[in-house]
């Protein structure tokens, strides 16, 4: 459980108890329901990244887009609804090379325009996967309801694949940017779990003649 869940749930339970005392239990029920919702929202289950030259999902949710980029790059977009776990995790092991917070709008996170327009926190992890140096960038993107991005890490921190790096409160989106050395293994409509679902695999090396190494 993320600590914020206890804070929100505690405040709501206290408010519900006060209303129950002053006006009767029916008035406190909405507060109790919201308290249970907060405890569910801020849950933080243990996850284990699979071995091998892979990248895991940084977020729970539904893949809403897999889009090609310049130079053979790819972008995977994951939408988190309010019932998904909102703790974000590193896709690969390595060092956090860059963190950039970008102010922006608060469009609905399931819209394609949110990738560029919305407020977001951009993290880049550099590491060695399958014997190859690589980097993966992922964006914690605020949504229509989610307006609070939390990042636990700092530039220079060493992280493991699937390690917790932050969270986004109350519905959001995470975009993952892969270079041409990666092969995306998910498609739109797939459900993924942060820290355990493989979303990309390191492509096979090719030698100078163009044959697989």
Contacts of 18 (CB under 8 A, 6+ apart): 28
| 12 contacts 35 by C-beta, under 8 angstroms | yes
CATH class of 54-202: mainly beta
Is 196 a catalytic site residue? no
At residue 140, the pLDDT reads: 93
Domain spans of the chain?
Answer: 3-41, 54-202
The DSSP bridge partners found for residue 77 are: 65, 175
Catalytic one of 77, 172, 196, 197: 172
The model's pLDDT over 107-135, given as tens digits with 9 standing for 90+, comes to 877 777 888 888 899 999 999 999 999 99
The DSSP bridge partners found for residue 25 are: none
| 65 contacts 77 by C-beta, under 8 angstroms | yes
At residue 168, the pLDDT reads: 86
Which 3 state secondary structure label does DSSP give 51? coil
| CA–CA gap between residue 44 and residue 163 (Å, rounded) | 12
Query: Please, what is the angle between helix 3-23 and helix 25-41, to 10°?
Result: 170
DSSP E strand boundaries for the chain: 54-56, 61-68, 74-80, 87-89, 94-102, 120-129, 132-142, 149-151, 158-159, 164-168, 172-178, 182-184, 191-192, 198-202
CB atoms inside a 10 Å sphere around CB 48: 10
Report pTM.
Answer: 0.83
Residue 209 has pLDDT above 50, yes or no: no
At residue 207, the pLDDT reads: 35
More confident site: 184 or 148: 184
The model's pLDDT over 40-95, given as tens digits with 9 standing for 90+, comes to 777 888 999 999 999 999 999 999 999 998 889 999 999 998 889 889 999 999 99
The model's pLDDT over 7-52, given as tens digits with 9 standing for 90+, comes to 777 898 899 899 898 998 888 899 988 888 878 777 888 999 999 9
The model's pLDDT over 136-168, given as tens digits with 9 standing for 90+, comes to 999 999 877 656 888 999 999 999 999 999 988
| CA–CA gap between residue 38 and residue 9 (Å, rounded) | 6
At residue 179, the pLDDT reads: 95
């Amino acid at each position: 459980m993320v600590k914020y869940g206890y804070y929100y749930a505690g405040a709501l339970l206290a408010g519900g108890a006060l209303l129950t005392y002053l006006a009767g239990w029916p008035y406190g029920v909405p507060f109790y329901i919201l308290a249970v919702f907060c405890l569910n929202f801020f849950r933080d289950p243990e996850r284990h990244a699979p071995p091998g030259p892979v990248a895991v999902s940084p977020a729970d949710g539904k893949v809403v887009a897999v889009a090609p980029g310049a130079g053979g790059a790819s972008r995977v977009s994951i939408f988190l609804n309010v019932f998904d776990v909102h703790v974000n995790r590193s896709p690969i092991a390595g060092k956090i090379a860059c963190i950039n917070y970008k102010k922006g709008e608060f469009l609905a996170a399931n819209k394609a325009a949110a990738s560029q327009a919305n407020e977001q926190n951009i993290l880049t992890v550099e590491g060695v996967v399958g014997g190859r140096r690589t980097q993966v960038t992922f964006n914690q993107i605020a949504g229509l309801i989610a307006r609070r991005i939390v990042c636990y890490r700092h530039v220079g921190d060493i992280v493991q694949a699937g390690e917790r790096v932050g969270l986004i409160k109350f519905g959001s989106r995470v975009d993952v940017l892969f270079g041409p050395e990666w092969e995306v293994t998910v498609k739109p409509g797939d459900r993924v779990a942060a820290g355990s679902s493989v979303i990309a695999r390191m492509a096979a090396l090719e030698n100078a003649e163009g044959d697989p190494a």
